């Protein structure tokens, strides 16, 4: 399955929401606290550079091992630092893709992080454009 990205238009509106004062353990349960002391705007928490951030919808499974799934929304920050180990949006031979940036033996690569072996590592060449760094992922889960 290939990975197709589609740009989305997003308008930021301040929406502070209650944030519990304790962290929720993903392992063993602990007693819940009834206090809601702080607030958070989930979108502002992801978006660090509002005017340099664009949202894209992911299609495909080449980044499943990084927790980016088919249908997720990714915030791509054009002002983000391009470093080895970061997930980046790149243009390769005129095609947009999102992969993990890696440096090996002095050369740069775009690595898929799928749970299957159906994807190839893409070498970064002089024509490859790293368009931005993925700053966050938003996923909607069923609640019905």
Residue 62 bears catalytic tag: yes
Q: Give whole-number Cα distances, 87 to 65, 99, 103, in Å.
A: 12, 6, 13
Is residue 52 within 8 A of residue 78, CB to CB? The reply is yes
Q: Catalytic: which of 30, 59, 84, 99?
A: 99
Residue 103 bears catalytic tag: no
Is residue 122 within 8 A of residue 89, CB to CB? The reply is no
Q: What is the DSSP letter of 70?
A: T
Q: Catalytic: which of 62, 84, 100, 103?
A: 62
* Cα 78 to Cα 54: distance, rounded to the nearest angstrom: 8
Catalytic residues: 62, 99
């Amino acid at each position: 399955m290939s990975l197709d990205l589609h740009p989305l238009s997003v308008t930021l509106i301040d929406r502070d929401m209650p944030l519990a004062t304790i962290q929720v353990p993903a392992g063993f349960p602990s007693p819940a606290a009834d206090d809601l002391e702080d607030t958070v705007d989930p979108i502002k928490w992801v978006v660090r550079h509002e005017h340099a951030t664009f949202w894209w919808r992911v299609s495909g499974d080449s980044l499943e091992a990084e927790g980016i799934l088919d249908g997720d929304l990714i915030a791509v920050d054009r002002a983000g630092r391009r470093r080895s180990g970061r997930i980046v949006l790149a243009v390769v031979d005129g095609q947009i893709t999102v992969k993990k940036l890696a440096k090996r033996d002095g050369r740069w690569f775009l690595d898929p992080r799928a749970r299957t072996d159906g994807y190839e590592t893409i070498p970064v060449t002089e024509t490859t454009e790293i368009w931005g760094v993925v700053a966050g992922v938003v996923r909607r889960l069923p609640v019905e």
